[in-house]
Amino acid sequence: MTVALAIILATIGLATTVGLVAGRKVESTLESWTVGGRQLGLVLVWLLMAGEIYTTFIFLGASGWAYRRGAPAFYIPIYGTLAYAISFFLLPVLWRVGKRHGLHTQPDFFVLRYRSRALGVMVALLGVVSIVPYLQLQLHGLGLVVEVASDGAIGAGAAIALGFVASCAFVHTSGLKGVAWVAVLKDVLMIAAVAVVGIGVPRLYFGGFGATYAAVAERLPGHLVFPGATTTMGVGWVMSTALLSGLGFYMWPHLFATAFSARSEAIIRRNAIIMPIYQVPILLVFTVGFAAALVIPGLANPDMALLEIVKRTWPPWFLGFVGAAGAVTAMVPAAVLVLGAAALLAKNVICPIFLPAADEATVMRLSRLLVVAVMGAALLSALLLPGELVGLLILGYDGVCQLFPGVVLGLAWRRVSRAGVVAGLLTGVGVALALILSGNDPVLGLNAGFVALAANALVTVVVSLLTRPSEGSLV
């Protein structure tokens, strides 16, 4: 495993170097650090947004769900495709608003549209609270990948700490542009690993894709149809979860802000057209999970299905390559997440409340300091409170999706009011927490977050009709 360990460490070192070097020409301004100076082209925007799909969630969580739960895992490619279709219409409008008014973060939009810094603080806090479990997912996944790929030579805790230091270093120095260039390396490694494993496993063990699915259908009856190996994740759950995640995809604060980084709105539209291409390799990951359910049944941790079958099938050096790809695949989204959370806290929470007269330089310095604080919180969560990877992601979506009515109605309906948006947000978050904490998820066969979103939208519309419209203008 010495070669595997060397490959993993060398790749993490290379990714960190690329991120640091990319920051040499980055201006020390808030706009350059948070949204890349609004000058990113099609390829970098594509890779940044694609990084939201190809994280350790896909490497481990998606294959783990295919292994353990079966068909319900197909909600993943469904929601991604739905999100990209929505982005074709939504993101160009947001880009124009961001360009015209110099917006850097998602709460900036709410402050502008609804003329309320308090609402901006509320949105920022919701965004950070939702980001932390997602960031925890990346760090926890990084630890699992490196520990297995190095055959225990690097423990999960040490790997998480290493990823913490590397990601903080290039985010602090280079901001979004540095992350974008590391995403280039990440995607080359990730696509190569997924292609080899996703095509190789079915051929080596079953003779091809058709034979693999035929074997699964024969030996695990019901695994490939809803509700799969579960009793609660039927058609209603899959449809509601896919819709919840599709609507909430670009409500993540870091992805919302990525739309501001493009050089033009045409780039945003072209990106929406080509993004669905990235859904195809996900099916290869699912196939590996299904195959592993037959080849190595009874894994204590289903999230390890892909790595365990790679470990059984290929020599250690290739496992090291897969581990290296998985490590960088965790580092890129972790970097974007921590950058977004730090900017939210600095610009939209701390400065409005405690430093109302702060200039841009002060906000910039505070944002960089908060990078370490936010990543540290996620680090502690990953070490002390490990959880199922997909479950962590869905928990985050339950939160950020509650911002969807405020964004879409704010763009499309002049009658929407600040009171309506606040009431809707409080209702949505309250319903989601009540259902999840009481163990009623799913509820009536539907995702609890989707039920909360429906309640949120209804309250937003009703209260807006009963109150005075907000005076904010996006023109």
DSSP for 236-264, please give it: HHHHHHHHHHHHHGGGSHHHHHHGGGBS-
CA quadruple 358, 359, 360, 366: dihedral sign? negative
Q: In percent, how much of the chain has pLDDT > 90?
A: 54
Interatomic CA distance for residues 267 and 264, integer angstroms:
5
Interatomic CA distance for residues 424 and 406, integer angstroms:
8
- Whether 119 and 351 have beta carbons less than 8 Å apart is answered as no
What per-residue confidence (pLDDT) applies to 391?
A: 63
What per-residue confidence (pLDDT) applies to 181?
A: 86
> Tell me, what DSSP letter sits at residue 40?
B
Closest CA to 306 of 315, 295, 14, 317: 295
- Whether 330 and 55 have beta carbons less than 8 Å apart is answered as yes
> Tell me, what DSSP letter sits at residue 210?
H
On whether residue 411 sits in a domain, the answer given is no
Q: Is 446 helix (H, G, I), strand (E, B) or coil?
A: strand
* Adjacent-strand bridge partners of 40: 262
pLDDT in tens, 9-27: 899 999 999 988 877 766 6
Q: Give the amino acid at 395.
A: L
What per-residue confidence (pLDDT) applies to 50?
A: 67
pLDDT in tens, 136-158: 778 888 888 888 888 788 888 88
On whether residue 171 sits in a domain, the answer given is yes
- CATH classification of the domain holding 93: 1.20.1730.10
What per-residue confidence (pLDDT) applies to 331?
A: 87
Distance between terminal CA atoms of the chain?
A: 60
pLDDT in tens, 401-446: 999 999 999 999 999 999 999 999 999 999 998 998 898 989 999 9
The mean pLDDT value of the chain amounts to 89
- Whether 60 and 303 have beta carbons less than 8 Å apart is answered as yes
On whether residue 332 sits in a domain, the answer given is yes
Domain with 336, as residue range(s), is 2-397
> Tell me, what DSSP letter sits at residue 228?
T
What per-residue confidence (pLDDT) applies to 381?
A: 74
On whether residue 117 sits in a domain, the answer given is yes
Backbone phi, then psi, for 443, in 5-degree steps? -120, 125
- Whether 276 and 84 have beta carbons less than 8 Å apart is answered as yes
What per-residue confidence (pLDDT) applies to 51?
A: 60
What per-residue confidence (pLDDT) applies to 427?
A: 97
On whether residue 120 sits in a domain, the answer given is yes
* 23 Cβ contact list (under 8 Å, min separation 6): 170, 173, 174, 175, 177, 178
What per-residue confidence (pLDDT) applies to 330?
A: 85
Q: Tokens 């419209």 belong to which residue?
A: 469
Structure tokens at 328: 């960088």
What per-residue confidence (pLDDT) applies to 166?
A: 87
Domain count, the chain: 1
Q: In the chain, count of helices (H) and strands (E)?
A: 22, 0
On whether residue 415 sits in a domain, the answer given is no
What per-residue confidence (pLDDT) applies to 278?
A: 79
On whether residue 290 sits in a domain, the answer given is yes
Spell out, as residue ranges, where the chain has pLDDT lower than 50: none
pTM of the predicted model, to two decimals?
0.90
What per-residue confidence (pLDDT) applies to 385?
A: 67
* Omega before residue 227 within 30° of 0, cis: yes
Closest CA to 205 of 115, 317, 314, 343: 314
On whether residue 189 sits in a domain, the answer given is yes
